[in-house]
Structure 1
Amino acid sequence: MARRRSGLGELLEVDFEAMSPMQLYRTSDILLRHRAALEGHLFARVSDLFALAPTITLYDLTNTYFEGEAPVNPAARHGHSKERRSDCPLLTLALVLDACGFVRRSRVFAGNAAEAQTLQGMLTGLAAPAGALVVMDRGVATEANLAWLAEQGYRYLVVSRERRRAVDFKEAITLDNAGGQAVELLKVPSADGQEVRLYCRSEGRVRKEQAIAGRLMDRFEAGLDKLATGLSRRGTTKRIDKLWERIGRLKEKSRGLGQHYHIEVIAGDSGERARAIHWQRLPVKGSLVTEPGVYCLRSNETGWDEKTMWRTYIMLTDLEAVFRSLKSELGLRPIFHHKEERAEGHLFITVLAYQFVQLIRHCLAAHGICERWSTLRDTLAGQCRVTATFNRGDGRTLHVRKATRAEPDQARIYQALGADPAPGGVQKTIV
């Protein structure tokens, strides 16, 4: 990538063509040995630069998969893959970030590590003051972890694990999100006054969940219809026990939406073979089908109003777009290294790249440029280095290499970063 599709080597005056893979591996080993010091230094530096207040902490986990079996890496384990690559060995990367998305600390766990069991080990020794707000998703928000956070003096804001959706929003307040869509918020204190729940329902999430449910239910019904029509054709499954096995597999693939159907397999004269399959859609009350777009936030910060609580959570979920860059173009997935230290070095270099991305985005945001990282990359990708060749009168050839002129959107980004809009300068070569 650095050789074929990047001008980095030219700008840094580094010849990547002459660089052997072993040089890069050794550099990775050195970086990994000093991971704790580097992470501490970088976070302290950005905290000084931007006067960050360490009052909010985001805890997030993701995993990546290996190409190959990685038999010599004891941490390469099979588990639940967030990219649906459970067929491959995995590694889990845990990150502790501040409200602006800068990494405080990272750690690599085995691929089968349970999310809920990693929190205490990551936050123990963290230089976050007592009373800091910890934000995390439902995978980590077990009752034991919430109790531990409270005992350690942390506040928390999490996505609740409860499945309750049947909520009366008559007393809710309504806000507009960044996309101009209405969001309903209903704050409900706990009976003992130690916690508060915020039930949320947004137009965008309603449409998204309705589309997902509709697609899965259509697929489920198509599978039932295929089984039913097969009863009238030769060479298809007709035994009742086998049909129920196939119906069970359809339910497994329906992500729980099979519960909304009443299914009957009608036996034929023999009693072992079916002559018909009947089904009826009976939506379960209080479920995703009947109450789409509803989710619940849970916190022991009881003094916040609905708006503050919701916007704090949304501010941190906005980092998901950058996480997508971490997992794709920043190179987290997949891992081609099989040795344990090389695999961890691969993940740490990705974390460092993520830190620099956040630094750039934070500087741009201070100048009103708040586009997604993918948008920024697409904008700057239009500028490139070109070489113009001229024949001289003396028979020699003049080669002039320079960057193309920056377009207005590109120049605005360069100006915000204090960077040269014509990177690399002008190089003239006479041959």
Structure 2
Amino acid sequence: MYLRFTQRTNADGTTVRYAALAHNRRVNGKVKPDVLMNLGRIDRLDVDGLRRLAASITKHFGGDATALSDDTEAALTAGAAPMEVIDSRPIGTSWLLDALWKRLDIAAAITKATDGRHFTTNMERVLFALVANRAIEPMSKLSAAEWASEDAIICGLTAMDEDQAYRAMDLLAEADTTGQVQQAVFFAVANLLNLEVDLLFFDTTSTYFERDEEEDSTPEQRAFRRYGKSKDHRDDLPQIVIGLAVTKEGIPVRVWCWPGNTSDQQVLAEVKDDMRDWKLGRVITVVDRGFSSTDNLAYLRRAGGHFIAGMRMRDGGALADQALSRQGRYQSVRDNLRVKEVRLDGAGDVRFIICHNPDQAERDRHQREQAIARIEAELERIAAQRERDRARTRKGSLSAAAAARAEATHVRAECALRDHPTLKRWIRQHKNDRLVIDRAKVKAEANLDGKYLLATSDPDITAEETALGYKNLLEAERGFRDLKSELLLRPVFHRLEHRIRAHVLICWLALLLTRVAERSVGQSWRHIRRETARLKQVTLAGEAGTITQTTPLRPGHKGIYQALSIAPPPRVTAFDPA
């Protein structure tokens, strides 16, 4: 046991020294110090009190009780030998993610996939570094390698390079060809959080590539980056389609990738088969209107499965017309929602629920009225300008050529209005090519304000549970939004298909870790990341040796780690005496 001295330099250049009672212990062959008691600042220390304590100890155990040792006396009066900070990096967020990474068996699944292979660097640690970088400070793979080596603390990984990052991505893509990594992770998450997987929500999105041309297919391999219907409104760029399955708690449990020209109607059978291999028991799959074809819904019912599906109401289909024509009272449920269950002829055992949101109905009405007013103003402007040009032509102040050019301008304005992406739905073109507002369409749309139609094959779920379950489909959309904004799924610079798949898997793993953290802590990932990033690991070097320790734990840090049942980083992680 000994007195340990440290010092801190203030912003004004003054130095403050501290003393503590410490002892050394040996861990794995290395000597590490443990602070038993902080005594405080040396300039405020009761040195006479320490002398009395030393005298009391010597009285019982023998020795010289007259004074402290010369070295201790000098240290208390002059302070310890100065030490210099040689490194400082944030550790709080990466430490939290690493604990979740291991608890969710991701590390074990990846290690199992690499068994029997020998690498100079731990590939599991490299993959974790890529996932942690995506969750903390998204970068390219080259920058992520530099970040893990110079700017972050990744336990078990001192440094990595770009080649190791790509090798780890190849291993991840190879290990997950059968979904074994995702399956192991899912069951670990389900056990940890006691997830309810009776409802699984599925949706798709797309992400584009910064290149002008799509890939060409070869006899050995299909093209992956293809043109398709972009959900980011970038049909001019090649893309891929990404599918995501989430629980009603918002936990993403599986991810898929398909070529960019894949339609929503083509993927649901593959999703159903993949999830069936996990033997989850009774599962109700919740899908949006884009997946509600007759074949898809029939496939979802195979092997005892059920569905909740959004149905199209604005296409004028027979089902929508029948549902709206049925009489009945709405039942008020939570979240300002009203529901009404109806039975339709020829639908078999499928039940239909009409949902109505009064607030959404008011928003729909206001948006429609704004659109109609805008169309009316533009049509009046075009008609008034056309009439003025014709009057000038009759008076002879406008030549025939100028009148023809003016009429062409009016026609272009009408064409632009007719082809407008949001206004064209309210416009009808007469046989004389003049545009008018389609009043019948306006009246039909007014009857649909705030309403949407759901179908379910489950005989036990109530109308209220069906409606509220469908609303949770927003969790899948929130997952896509966070993938693209918080985790920066795009831009994607990879060219090979397996590298693109690995990139999507890394983003999915980062989303999974952040969602688990959010659900356990009850705060947004942005807040958790900002708070834990303030916990630093500092390395100091001096004549006495080198010591690595973390900054003191704040109440905010402590609350986050306690909510996740994670032990915070130790105060002292390394001590190498000179």
User: TM-score, structure 2 length as denominator?
Assistant: 0.59
- Cα gap change, 1:286 to 1:229, in 2 (>3 Å): closer
Give, in angstroms, the shift of residue 171 of structure 1.
0.3
Contact 1:72–1:340 (Cα < 8 Å) also in 2: no
SS in 1 for 2:441: coil
Q: String of CA shifts for 1:8-46, please: whole Å, max 9, x gaps.
A: 82253645xx53322211111110100122112111222
- Equivalent-residue separation in structure 2 for 1:389 and 1:237 (angstroms): 80
- Equivalent-residue separation in structure 1 for 2:327 and 2:531 (angstroms): 48
Q: 1:253 aligns with which of 417, 420, 436?
A: 420
1:388-399 superposed matches below 5 A: none
- Equivalent-residue separation in structure 2 for 1:7 and 1:241 (angstroms): 63
Give, in angstroms, the shift of residue 161 of structure 1.
2.1
- Cα gap change, 1:264 to 1:79, in 2 (>3 Å): same
- Cα gap change, 1:228 to 1:206, in 2 (>3 Å): same
* Alignment partner, residue 334 of structure 1: 491
Contact 1:284–1:290 (Cα < 8 Å) also in 2: no
* Alignment partner, residue 174 of structure 1: 332
- Cα gap change, 1:280 to 1:345, in 2 (>3 Å): closer
- Equivalent-residue separation in structure 1 for 2:304 and 2:484 (angstroms): 33
- Equivalent-residue separation in structure 1 for 2:425 and 2:479 (angstroms): 36
Q: String of CA shifts for 1:96-144, please: whole Å, max 9, x gaps.
A: 3444444444321111101001111222252345652111111111111
Give, in angstroms, the shift of residue 48 of structure 1.
2.9
* Alignment partner, residue 417 of structure 1: 564
Q: String of CA shifts for 1:239-267, please: whole Å, max 9, x gaps.
A: 76775564344233243x43434667999
- Equivalent-residue separation in structure 1 for 2:224 and 2:236 (angstroms): 16
* Alignment partner, residue 49 of structure 1: 192
- Equivalent-residue separation in structure 1 for 2:547 and 2:210 (angstroms): 43
* Alignment partner, residue 273 of structure 1: none
* Alignment partner, residue 76 of structure 1: 225
Instruction: For structure 1, list consecutive stretches of 5 or more residues without a partner in the other structure.
Output: 268-276
Confirm or deny that 1:345 pairs with 2:502: yes
Q: String of CA shifts for 1:56-76, please: whole Å, max 9, x gaps.
A: 332221111112246557211
Matched to 2:189, the amino acid is V
The Cα RMSD (Å) is 4.1
Give, in angstroms, the shift of residue 81 of structure 1.
1.2
- Equivalent-residue separation in structure 2 for 1:56 and 1:76 (angstroms): 32
Number of equivalenced pairs: 403
Matched to 1:172, the amino acid is Y
* Alignment partner, residue 322 of structure 1: 479
Confirm or deny that 1:106 pairs with 2:232: no
* Alignment partner, residue 162 of structure 2: 21
Give, in angstroms, the shift of residue 4 of structure 1.
6.5
Between structures 1 and 2, the one with greater helix share: 2
Give, in angstroms, the shift of residue 172 of structure 1.
0.4
- Equivalent-residue separation in structure 2 for 1:157 and 1:6 (angstroms): 48
Contact 1:173–1:185 (Cα < 8 Å) also in 2: yes
Q: String of CA shifts for 1:171-224, please: whole Å, max 9, x gaps.
A: 0011231xxxx2111111233551111111113422443454355445545554
Confirm or deny that 1:63 pairs with 2:206: yes
Confirm or deny that 1:357 pairs with 2:500: no
- Equivalent-residue separation in structure 2 for 1:319 and 1:147 (angstroms): 23
- Equivalent-residue separation in structure 1 for 2:360 and 2:148 (angstroms): 38
Q: 2:344 aligns with which of 163, 177, 190?
A: 190
Q: Which has the larger radius of gyration?
A: 2
SS in 1 for 2:304: coil
Confirm or deny that 1:134 pairs with 2:285: yes
- Equivalent-residue separation in structure 2 for 1:7 and 1:217 (angstroms): 58
Give, in angstroms, the shift of residue 318 of structure 1.
3.3
Contact 1:70–1:339 (Cα < 8 Å) also in 2: no
Contact 1:216–1:254 (Cα < 8 Å) also in 2: no
- Equivalent-residue separation in structure 2 for 1:9 and 1:60 (angstroms): 35
My pick for the range that moved more, 137-146 or 223-232, is 223-232
Matched to 1:23, the amino acid is Q
Contact 1:70–1:89 (Cα < 8 Å) also in 2: yes
Whose RCO is larger (CA < 8 A, sep 6+)? 2
- Cα gap change, 1:205 to 1:334, in 2 (>3 Å): farther
SS in 1 for 2:292: coil
- Equivalent-residue separation in structure 2 for 1:331 and 1:198 (angstroms): 37
Q: 1:291 aligns with which of 448, 454, 460?
A: 448
Confirm or deny that 1:200 pairs with 2:367: no
- Equivalent-residue separation in structure 1 for 2:475 and 2:490 (angstroms): 21
* Alignment partner, residue 311 of structure 1: 468
Q: Percent identity?
A: 22
Instruction: For structure 2, list consecutive stretches of 5 or more residues without a partner in the other structure.
Output: 1-136, 138-143, 217-222, 315-319, 390-397
- Equivalent-residue separation in structure 2 for 1:379 and 1:230 (angstroms): 59
- Equivalent-residue separation in structure 2 for 1:354 and 1:236 (angstroms): 61
Confirm or deny that 1:38 pairs with 2:181: yes
Contact 1:67–1:334 (Cα < 8 Å) also in 2: yes
* Alignment partner, residue 282 of structure 1: 439
Q: String of CA shifts for 1:310-344, please: whole Å, max 9, x gaps.
A: 12222343343233112222232231112222212
- Cα gap change, 1:263 to 1:54, in 2 (>3 Å): closer
Matched to 1:84, the amino acid is H
Contact 2:514–2:525 (Cα < 8 Å) also in 1: no
- Equivalent-residue separation in structure 1 for 2:162 and 2:357 (angstroms): 49
User: TM-score, structure 1 length as denominator?
Assistant: 0.77
Give, in angstroms, the shift of residue 155 of structure 1.
0.9
Contact 1:29–1:345 (Cα < 8 Å) also in 2: yes
Contact 1:78–1:112 (Cα < 8 Å) also in 2: yes
- Equivalent-residue separation in structure 2 for 1:237 and 1:361 (angstroms): 64
SS in 2 for 1:318: helix
- Equivalent-residue separation in structure 1 for 2:425 and 2:282 (angstroms): 43
- Cα gap change, 1:387 to 1:59, in 2 (>3 Å): closer
Contact 2:201–2:476 (Cα < 8 Å) also in 1: no
